[in-house]
Amino acid sequence: TFKMTGMSLLQSDLEKTELTLNPPEGIVAGPIDEENFFEWEALIMGPEDTCFAGGVFPAILSFPLDYPLSPPKMRFTCEMFHPNIYPDGRVCISILHAPGDDPMGYESSAERWSPVQSVEKILLSVVSMLAEPNDESGANVDASKMWREDREQFKNKAEQLVRKSLGF
């Protein structure tokens, strides 16, 4: 069954991948509990040399039952202000968009989800997104506008979020 395939893939993603053996710098992720491999929590550190540097941002990855045919959804569970993150925390990034051609003609199918992607690749893509927002397809219109028109104000807002993420 699909559920078994998705679950065994997620288990092997956890056990055999770099995520556990040699996690990429600034990323920690794993199932919320051993009973449910379809809900993962992640901690993403703000990338060095960006306005998010030093922050620790928690997120949830929710995997569909037909994973890996369909992509997981990812949502930051802390306050975020970023062109590619909806105000409710949902992440809008090509790698998490359904496979195939983009109905809007904006993304190539190669940029979108495919069953060969891994949890690690998703999280690394999100770290890159934090460092280099795509203001062309803004999930948060206010953040996109500020990123384009007032970078200094955007940096200040991001630095406030970093302090908040650390409990200051």
- Taking alpha carbons only, the member of 7, 88, 84 closest to residue 40 is 7
Give residue-wise pLDDT tens across range 39-96.
999 999 999 999 999 999 999 999 998 888 899 999 999 999 999 999 999 999 988 9
Q: Which residues are catalytic?
A: 92
Does residue 68 have a cis peptide bond before it, meaning omega lies within 30 degrees of 0?
yes
Decide: 19 and 119 in contact? Cβ < 8 Å.
Answer: yes
pLDDT at 24 over 80: no
Domains and CATH numbers, the chain: 4-166 (3.10.110.10)
pTM, rounded to two decimals: 0.85
pLDDT reported for residue 37: 83
- Taking alpha carbons only, the member of 43, 33, 37 closest to residue 76 is 43
